[in-house]
Copies of this chain bind each other. A is one copy, B any other.
Amino acid sequence: MLQAAAKTLSVATTTSVSRGILLSIRHYCKKTPATLRVSEAVSGAELGANVKVQGWVRSVRAQKSHLFLHVNDGSSLQSLQVVASSALNDPLLTFGSAVEVTGTLKKSPNQKQPVELEAEQIHIVGECNPLEFPFKIKERHGLEYIRQFPHLRCRTNAFSSLLRIRSEATTAVHLYFKENGFLQIHTPVITSNDCEGAGELFKIEPSGYEEEEHFFSVPAFLTVSGQLHLELMSGAFSKVYTFGPTFRAENSQSRRHLAEFYMVEAEVSFAQSLEDLTKVMEGMFRSATEHVFAHCAEDVDLFHKHVTPGHREIVEAMLKNRFPTITYSEAIDILNRSSENFAFPTDWGCDLQTEHEKYLVKHCGNIPVFVTDYPYDLKPFYARDNQDHPEHTAAAVDLLVPGVGELCGGSLREERLDLLRARLQQAGLEDTYSWYLDLRRFGSVPHGGFGMGFERYLQCILGVDNIKDVIPFPRFSHSCVL
């Protein structure tokens, strides 16, 4: 115990910003208080205990005889109320400063905060000049304002809630797949696949590399999708998924696009119909959303009450109803029967635009809706040919959701060697994809899969308008800060 006390003391003396009240070795040797996280302290489980809490000051109120602080350490949205004699006040106890408080956990007379920490010692670990700190005490800063300070915005309530939600949603996605027997595959970021539209690919080489030959001997790119790599795995595992960063070099600064974003992708072997995919998409959406709402209730509430009021009801309606399925042809009929003036054409064969997707979602009751069986010519080489006539379609499906538009896209994959080879030949890609054809040569099975934009998912359940506000480090054209 002497050692622990000496250590604490030594940090206090060697920290250049340290001030405030130093702990006496004598007091420490008597009893070393347990260090609790704020979430543990406010839970009430340790009432009466002598504890130490470490965190950052979220509010300061000095009265004649007493000093009130709120201390937060990111373990939950809630801060711990600290009550101290005003003798412990210090001008350096400001919004944003880091403190270490020892004292006793007591029942609070305050209904909203049932627990408070009666402080015996307050040690200021790191000061925070309120004139220079961009966030001000008691002010509710908008998401757009805090976005200007990417290295500090995690210190606001709204963005720390977002990060807890994002972390929990990540857990929820993994949990859903784990519970449903999917194997997680780390698909590569660097790939030599280049055919998905060269304009949107990032290419990579070593910095300062001047050699004529490529570092990887072939041109190498950042992945736009792990699908083909997952398909390869689905020749040995009947259910696989991947969840990681994907990239598009789109010259766009819109509220909907990022150069680096996270995608959840799954592939199901022996899938017989699009229903085998839509039930996974719907299951994942429901399961993840219920998990997040249950495990991050306060954080989600912050968004639904203060950032995007009214959004809670929209999400609840989504969860209450089964997601309907319409075919692309039915969608076109709906659009053509509507009295809306669309900017883009709605003829059979045209791609659905965001305006169309939003109309379809509204038309179906403002809940998520699956659109299936798109025109064959709109879809990439791997989409399974429905071989229907006269309207030639592919077994592809999109999930459209309120506010966001397209959340997921998927398809059955062409598992028939002859049809796939013919299509690749036509596109002049047979050699490039000889490995992909091999998958159909050896133990080929009907299979399909989908991808979901993880940021769009977060936007959808929280109602956040700008995709830059749901990712810790947004990257887009002309912006790669930090």
Whether, in the assembled complex, A282 has its beta carbon less than 8 Å from a beta carbon of chain B, the answer is no
Residue from B73, B184, B442, B479 in contact with A216 in the complex, judged by beta carbons closer than 8 Å:
B479
Smallest beta-carbon distance A173→chain B, Å: 11
Q: How far is the CA of A415 from the CA of B262 in the complex (A)?
A: 32
Residue from B16, B207, B445 in contact with A418 in the complex, judged by beta carbons closer than 8 Å:
B16
A114-122, A189-197, A351-359 - the one binding chain B: A189-197
A124-132, A285-293, A311-319, A373-381 - the one binding chain B: A124-132
Smallest beta-carbon distance A430→chain B, Å: 15
Whether, in the assembled complex, A44 has its beta carbon less than 8 Å from a beta carbon of chain B, the answer is no
Contacts of A344 in B (CB 8 A): none
Contacts of A207 in B (CB 8 A): 194, 198-199, 201-203, 219, 221, 249
Whether, in the assembled complex, A75 has its beta carbon less than 8 Å from a beta carbon of chain B, the answer is yes
Q: How far is the CA of A245 from the CA of B243 in the complex (A)?
A: 12
Whether, in the assembled complex, A308 has its beta carbon less than 8 Å from a beta carbon of chain B, the answer is no
Smallest beta-carbon distance A58→chain B, Å: 11
> Given A16-B418, A152-B438, A126 and B191 touching (CB < 8 A)?
no
Smallest beta-carbon distance A274→chain B, Å: 11
Whether, in the assembled complex, A49 has its beta carbon less than 8 Å from a beta carbon of chain B, the answer is no
Contacts of A54 in B (CB 8 A): 238, 269-270, 445
Contacts of A251 in B (CB 8 A): 215
Q: How far is the CA of A358 from the CA of B218 in the complex (A)?
A: 36
Pairwise interchain contact A238-B473, C-beta atoms closer than 8 A: no
A-B CB proximity, top 6 nearest: A74-B237, A206-B249, A126-B444, A216-B480, A188-B473, A154-B236
A selection of 30 A-B contacts at a CB cut-off of 8 Å is A7-B273, A16-B416, A37-B238, A54-B238, A126-B415, A126-B444, A126-B445, A127-B443, A151-B435, A152-B232, A152-B235, A155-B236, A155-B442, A155-B443, A163-B183, A163-B185, A171-B178, A188-B260, A188-B473, A189-B189, A189-B222, A191-B480, A199-B208, A202-B205, A203-B205, A209-B249, A215-B259, A216-B480, A229-B472, A229-B482
